[in-house]
Every structure is written in C-alpha cells, then in structure tokens.
Chains A and B, each alone.
Chain A
Amino acid sequence: MTMHAQIQPAPQFGETPFTRKKRRNEMIAQGIFAVMVACIVIPLFLIVGYLIKEGVSLISWEFLTTNPTGGMRKGGIWSALLGTFWLVGTSLCISAPIGVLAAVYLNEYAKDNWFNRVVNLAVVNLAGVPSIVHALFGLGAFVLFAGMGRSIIAASLTLAIMTMPVIIASTKEALAAVPRQFREACWNVGATKWQTIWRIVLPNSVSGILTGVILQVSRTAGETAPIMFTGAVFYRKIEEGNLFAYGLGDQCMALSMHLFTVTTQVTNAPHALPFAIATVLLAFVLLVNLTAILFRSWLRNRKKW
C-alpha cells in the first residue's frame, strides 16, 4: 500500500535520461548515414569535375562530328561516338525484349519446380560473370562458330548476352513488386493469366522494368572487354554526318575502346584528348539515363496505387 505513495510520477513531456539517449542515438545514426552519402557523392563530383576541367578545352561540335586523324592525335571522335551508339542500340534491341519477356515467363508462368529453380540460379550466376568471360564466349560463339566475323552484330550479341541476366533479374523484381492480390482479383473474375499480365501487372511494373534496362545502357556503353575481341577496332574512318555510316556486319570504333587506345597505345596524344573522350562517354550515358528518368517519372505520375 505504501508503495504507491513512494512512486513519483515521471514528468510526462520533460527531458529524462531515456529521451536524451534516444535523441543522441538518433543524431548519431543520422550523422553516420549522412557521412556515407558524402563518401559517395564527393568522389563522384571530384571525378566528373576533374574530367570536365581537363577535357573541356577540346570539346566542340567539330570534335563530336569529325573522324580522328593524324594517328588519332588530332581530329574528333565521330566514328567512335557513332560506334558506341550503334553497339548500345543494337544490343539493347536484342537484350531488352528477350530479357523482359523471359522474366515475365519466369515470374508469372513458371511453376516452382527444380528445373525452374535451376534456371533462376543460372540467371543470377550469369549476372555475376566477369565481362571478359562473356567476351571469350562471344568470340567463340558469334565471331567464329556462327561465322559473323568481328562485326557490330557479333559485338552487340555479346553485350546482349552480358546484360540479359541482369535485365531478367531486375524485371523479375519489378514484377514481383506488384501485389499478388491484384492477380488473384483478376483470376477470380475469369481473366486469363495473359489478360492479367497485360492489363494489370505490366502497366504497374513498367517503371521498375525500365530502371533495370536503363542501368544496362550505361554498362553496355562503358564496357570495353566484350567488344574488344568481337567487333571493335582501334581505328576506322567513316562518312562524317551520316548516322548510318555503319552496317551491322561492319567493324566499328567505340568510345570506351577509343579511350583505352588513346591512353595506352598512342604516344604523344594531346593531354586533353582522353579526358574529352571520357567526358563525352559520360555525357552520352547521362543523356540516355536522363531521358529514361524523365520517361519513368512521367509513368510514375500515372501510377495507380
């Protein structure tokens, strides 16, 4: 009985050791996260800033639209820029539809049995294979066995093989994020699986699917190894100003490869040249990403739940 009288009611909204501790922990947590963000962002800006600072003196419209000349020490990067454009475009045209459709099958139709589990495991593992291994596969399968020779199509196929597992994995994630109850509601009213996928699942996962595909654009544009053996060359002169100066069976230059060449193989290249190439490569990727981000945010505004 006397117990009750002894207990002092705690001040309800005042400072107590417990609330002080909570506030301190909150600040520490927030601080750690902020520092981590800084660790990512600061180097990024330093890198990009440095590239631009060193390379900007060379960049001009003429630089973008003329072929390299003078043993790649002079002139522009037209043939490399157009080559990258073709490689990215072609490989994306191959890997995006196949990857997305395969992911739809795996996520929506495939039953949970040992075979499909093996397939899923293979996809995940393939996504982690180093690009040089894909390059060797591309050389063996497309260049030599299929007889395509070193060409844009062989290089694009190699790049497509490299990006496809990642597209499959990310598309599957996006599809799985659509709540199952939507599917069940559709099945309950007698809709087929395909009607459900077409009218409900795909419209609501398209922005996620797109994100996965877009990330692969950057990867495709940046990789050097897979195209080195399969279709990219050190030097090639093409018609300036013609977007279709390359054919699918041609060999091509590429920005990533060109950057590699200029830095390691060409002596006495102007100091600013590699930086300018890198800046253009970055800008290319950024431009593609930006388009996709805008498209995605437009889609997201129409998101339905």
Chain B
Amino acid sequence: MVTPKVQVENLRLSYGSKEVIHGISFDIEPNEILGIIGPAQSGKTSLLRCINRTMEFTAGNKMSGTIRVDGEDTAKMSDVYGLRRRIGMVAPLPVGLPLTIYDNVAFAPRAAGMNNKSELSALVEKCLRQAALWDEVKDRLDSLGTKLSGGQQQRLTIARALSHSPEILCLDEFSIAIDPVTTMRIEDVLKELKKDMTIILVTNLVQQARRLAARTMFMWNGEIIELGPTEQLFGDNPKDKRTHDYVNGIFG
C-alpha cells in the first residue's frame, strides 16, 4: 500500500472560542486531484492553511490533530520553509507581488537560494507557460506584475506557485477571476500536472470538481459530509442527501 501524500487526522481548528474545523480525517493519494466543495465558512481555506502551516501567522488560533505529508508529521518538521516550498498555494484573489513579472515568478527560487541566471530564466518561462500566461507577457517580463489584469495576475499567482516545483498544489478557487476560456486552458494544464504532483482543488464551481477530480470531498460547517469518488457525489445516490442538494443547487 502506498503512503498517502497527505494524511489529515482528527484535525480541529478554532479561532478564539469558535471552532471552525471539527475533527476531520482524510487521506489524499499521490497524483490524484481531490476536489473540495462546500459553501463559504465551511473551513476549506483554513484547512489548506493548516496543511502548509501558514496558519501559524494568524494569531489566536488553536489547532490539534495531525497532518502528515509523505508520512511525516508537518508539525514536527524543523524546516517549515522547505515544507511550504513542497506545497504550492494559489489564493482565491490574485496577488501580483509589487515586483516585475519576472521577479514575481523568480521570487521563490531566489528565496530558496537559486541564483543562476539562465536556470532562472528557463524556470520562469516554464512556469509562465504552464500557467497559460507566457504568450501574453513574454515581451514585457520587466513590467510590473501588479499592472496586469485580474485574470492575468491570477495566472501569475499560479506560475509563482509552480515556481518552487511543489509536490502538492493547492488551488483555492483559482478560477474566480479568470474567464471561462482561460479556466479551461488551466484545467488542461492541471490534468498534465497531475502526473507530477498531487492537486487539491477547492472550488465553488461544482462542475469544475466534476470535470477534474477523481474524488471529491464535500465540506460543510467544518465537517466532512461526504468524501468519495466524484461520480458518486454527483450521481443520483450520494450517501448524504445534503451532497445531492448542494451539487444540484437546491441547498438551503
């Protein structure tokens, strides 16, 4: 049996006195795309931030339970920056860093100590191509990332997340600012990337999960309502009636 890429065990998270994740456990297999769907405030983003340990920057939260990456407890890893480089994170709202397009993508490799110019350039091009942005920006790599349009910035964010060659790619509602055609192009890229990495796809577009994910997890109010093969959740007979209602848009 293969070690799961990510193992979450009895994860609880509270902000102050308010518990937002109520003890969830699940595994993510290597090279799978796991779709996570669920309404706002169900703990999806918090879950991702627990996995790459950026939750540590939020004051006043309390976390318990174990998260393992490749069988290793993330809480016990001494090199948290190394852990974060193994996990690519794309936030829902695009963040172009106030640097040039080139520097945006080269930021992470440089922070990790990579200085070779030709290697950097090759890496930047590769990541921008993967994020379906290269053709639009190849002639102005030295203009500001923040001057790009929202959709372009989002793809820049994806390129940056890929720039440190992550093993796990977390996409948190990445298509929120992107037009449908570009979304489709990126979805195709994700299918390619699946060969090399494990992808966690948090999405509000339930159909996106259906298109891409082999398994889908439905979260609601900090609990996993259902986790199973995508066809099962989207089929006529999911285990939980709430799943059926949610994916068919008759929730509430």
**A residues with CB within 8 A of B:** 111-112, 181-192, 195, 199-200, 203-204, 303-305
* 18 contacts across the A-B interface (CB closer than 8 A): A112-B59, A184-B54, A185-B91, A189-B85, A189-B88, A189-B89, A189-B111, A189-B164, A190-B82, A190-B84, A190-B111, A191-B107, A192-B81, A203-B98, A304-B98, A304-B144, A305-B98, A305-B146
In B120-144, which residues have CB < 8 Å from any A CB? Answer: 144
Question: Given the complex, which residues of B lie within 8 Å of A305, measured CB to CB?
Answer: 96, 98, 144, 146
C-alpha gap A304/B100 in the complex (Å): 9
Contact call A181/B54, Cβ cutoff below 8 A: no
B90 to chain A, nearest CB (A): 9
Q: Is the CB of A204 within 8 A of B98?
A: yes
Decide: A304 near B99, CB < 8 A? Known: A181-B91, A187-B54.
Answer: yes
Counting contact residues on chain B (CB < 8 A from A), the size range is 20 to 34
Q: How many Å lie between the Cα of A56 and that of B197 in the bound state? A: 76
Q: Is B161 an interface residue (CB 8 A)?
A: yes
Lowest 9 A-B CB distances belong to which pairs? A304-B98, A189-B108, A190-B85, A190-B84, A305-B146, A188-B89, A185-B95, A191-B111, A190-B81
Residues of B within 8 A of A188 (CB): 52, 54, 84, 89, 91, 161
Which residues of B9-66 have CB atoms within 8 Å of chain A's CB atoms? 52, 54, 57, 59-60
Q: Which of A111, A182, A191, A204 has the most CB of B within 10 A?
A: A191
For the complex, what is the distance from the CA of A192 to the CA of B95, rounded to whole Å? 18
Specify the chain B residue showing the minimal Cβ separation from A111. B59
Neighbouring A residues of B108 by C-beta, 8 Å: 189-191
Report the minimum CB–CB distance from A186 to chain B (whole Å).
7
CB of B5 within 8 Å of the partner chain: no
Q: Complex formed: what's the CA distance from A185 to B89 in Å?
A: 8
Nearest A residue (CB) for B56: A187
In the complex, which residues of chain B have a beta carbon less than 8 angstroms from the beta carbon of A203?
98
Contacts of B144 in A (CB 8 A): 304-305
Which residues of the other chain, B, contact A183 by a CB distance below 8 angstroms?
A: 57
Closest A residue by C-beta to B112 = A190
Q: Are A191 and B81 in contact (CB under 8 A)?
A: yes
Tell me if B57 and A184 are in contact (CB < 8 A): yes
Q: Which of A182, A187, A204, A303 contacts B57 (CB 8 A)?
A: A187
The answer, yes or no, to whether B93 is at the interface (CB within 8 Å) is yes
Out of B81, B83, B112, B160, name the residue touching A185 (CB < 8 Å). Answer: B160
Q: Does B198 contact A (CB under 8 A)?
A: no
User: What A residues does B99 contact at CB under 8 A?
Assistant: 199-200, 304
Docked CA distance A204–B82 (Å): 26
Q: How far is the CA of A184 from the CA of B144 in the complex (A)?
A: 19
Enumerate chain B residues within 8 angstroms of A184, measured Cβ to Cβ. Answer: 54, 57, 91, 95
Bound CA–CA A192/B57 (angstroms): 12
Q: Is B163 an interface residue (CB 8 A)?
A: yes
- A199 CA to B109 CA in the complex, in Å? 13
Contact across chains for A181 and B93 when beta carbons are under 8 A apart: yes
A112 to B52, CA, bound (A): 22
Q: A111, A186, A190, A303: which contacts B97 (Cβ < 8 A)?
A: A186
Contact A189 B161 (CB under 8 A): yes
Looking at the assembled complex, report how far the CB atom of A207 sits from the nearest CB atom of chain B, in whole angstroms.
13
Judge whether B157 is part of the interface by a CB distance below 8 angstroms.
yes
Tell me the complex Cα distance, A304–B104, Å: 12
B164 near A190 (CB under 8 angstroms)? yes
- A182 touching B95 in the complex, CB below 8 Å, given contacts A188-B89, A190-B85, A305-B146: yes
Q: Tell me the bound Cα distance from A190 to B84 in angstroms.
A: 5
Interchain CB contact (< 8 A) of A192 among B54, B98, B111, B160? B111
When C-beta atoms are compared, the residue in chain A nearest to B99 turns out to be A304
Which of the residues B60, B81, B95 comes within 8 Å of A181, measured between beta carbons? B95
Q: What residues of A have a CB within 8 angstroms of the CB of B96 in the complex? A: 305
